[in-house]
Amino acid sequence: MTASPYPRLHAPTRGGALLAVVIILLLAASAALAAAGRSAHRAELLAGARNVALLAEAKTALLGYAVQYPEIHPGEELGYLPCPDRNQDGSAQSPCHAKNHGAFGWLPWRTLGLPATRDGRAQCLWYAVAGSIKNSPKPVTLNWDSPGRFEIVDSAGQTLGGAGYSAAAVILAPGEALPGQARPPANTPHCPGSASAAADLPAFIDHPYALDLEGNITIVHGLPGSSVNDLAAWLTIDEIFAVLRRRTDFSATLDTVLDIAAATLQTRLGDPAFLAAHADSVHDNRAHGRLPDAAGFGVPPEQENLYNNWHDQMRFAACIDGSACLTAILADSALSPSAAATETCRALILFGGERQRGGTAQQRGSASERADAAQYLEGANLTSFATGAGHYAGYRHYAIADPRQPASEDLIRCIP
């Protein structure tokens, strides 16, 4: 048999064809992997975008709840936030832990009037609320100087959203499950997981938080691909009161607080023991001090909650002998400052207004700061309060003269 003149030609040709097929398959596989990578990246971006939008929607709903609290709970005061959902029914479970303790659980979407809040990975949102603003059990005091209790940091430990523990509520969207997180299947019609926030918390939220939050807590706003990948949105006391103070009835609320304080102090002016017990200083015939809480002051029970919410903002000046030894120059409000009149008074209630920011910032965070009259009063009022000499000046009613600035002007009630 005659050997083929091309014995080495056919084999290389077949091998080349096979190599070409392999290359084509590899290129096709690479293209498929690249497309899959692009698809996964796109899915990650879409999930992240949905999470950002959902967190913003939940934050807005919480703010609306605080602003509308008296309408939702007739007869109660402004500004409270709900307890978390602890059993996956979408509703806040109250009470949540002890007074002044914060609480962690699912966002109570039904209580907030939202649909079931699944994020971009079909997980439900989680929620932490500070004991200083939760509605059950309520704090003794809630006003624009209440502490937030939550510090928000990024994965590197850098503080976000303002210095210190300024956040009063935090909403978290769980990231992808990390190694060691075994997420239970859906056992409720609304969200993945069981009906127990205590059981599910470590499976969905990366940082080891507790359900019962005591004191100041640091919460991590994570990043996809990091050891903490939960995304956070937060709400501060300042953000809440920036909206509350624009309610049409807010000035009337503060008027009521001052009226309660003035009416109660008037009944105590003939009680030298009361003035002596609560005076920080006495100058000749003038006693100056801070007002006690409702129980120590004798405020009627139906007015206790409103008074207690704001009593730390107030000081008193009183004539020890019951004479009208005090002078106050009072205008209606910061919107109508020109029509001022001088009044003579046996006692005055001094309400500090919003704390000043910027170069003359007032600090009211610690007990020592809250005891310092300079953190509440300004100008002639501070001088007269500190020295026991001179007159006082201020406004009868709260008003916002410049929406860009805190309304820090002192309010005054004269007891003639």
- For residue range 134-159, list pLDDT tens digits in order: 999 999 999 999 999 999 999 888 89
Domain end among 192, 221, 244: 244
Confidence of residue 4 (pLDDT cuts 50, 70, 90): very low
The verdict on residue 40 lying in a domain is no
- Kindly list the strands in the beta sheet with 279-283, ordered across the sheet, starting from the edge strand earlier in the chain: 279-283, 286-290, 314-319, 347-351, 411-415, 392-395, 326-331, 341-345
Burial of 59 (0-12, 13-18, 19+ CB in 10 A): middle
Domain end among 225, 244, 263: 244
Over residues 256-270, the mean pLDDT reads: 96
Shared domain check, 117 and 211: yes
Shared domain check, 274 and 191: no
148-206 pLDDT, tens digit per residue, is: 999 999 988 889 876 678 999 999 999 888 888 888 776 666 778 888 999 999 999 98
Q: Which of 168, 143, 167 lies closest to 398 in space, CA to CA?
A: 143
Shared domain check, 270 and 411: yes
Cβ-contact 305, 76 below 8 angstroms:
yes
Over residues 371-377, the mean pLDDT reads: 97
So what's the pLDDT on residue 216?
A: 95
The verdict on residue 215 lying in a domain is yes
Instruction: Say how many C-beta atoms besides its own lie within 10 A of residue 15's C-beta.
Output: 10
So what's the pLDDT on residue 47?
A: 58
The verdict on residue 32 lying in a domain is no
Shared domain check, 298 and 225: no
The verdict on residue 402 lying in a domain is yes
Cβ-contact 396, 409 below 8 angstroms:
no
Shared domain check, 74 and 152: yes
Q: In the structure encoding, which two tokens stand for residue 364, read together?
A: 């009211």
Domain end among 244, 271, 302: 244
pTM attached to this predicted model: 0.85
Shared domain check, 156 and 206: yes
Shared domain check, 237 and 270: no
The verdict on residue 220 lying in a domain is yes
The verdict on residue 17 lying in a domain is no
Shared domain check, 215 and 121: yes
Range of the domain at 175: 45-244
Q: How far is 198 from 237, CA to CA, in rounded Å? A: 27
Q: In the structure encoding, which two tokens stand for residue 391, read together?
A: 């007159």
The verdict on residue 165 lying in a domain is yes
Q: How far is 262 from 347, CA to CA, in rounded Å? A: 9
92-126 pLDDT, tens digit per residue, is: 999 999 999 999 999 999 999 998 866 656 688 99
Asked which of 216-225, 244-253, 365-374 is least confident by mean pLDDT, the reply is 216-225
The verdict on residue 28 lying in a domain is no
How many domains is the chain built from?
2
Please state, rounded to an integer, the average pLDDT across all residues of the chain. Answer: 87
Of these ranges, 34-38, 48-52, 335-339, the one predicted with the greatest mean pLDDT is 335-339
Shared domain check, 275 and 236: no
Shared domain check, 290 and 188: no
Shared domain check, 320 and 176: no
Shared domain check, 259 and 233: no
Q: In the chain, pLDDT over 90 holds for what percent of residues?
A: 70
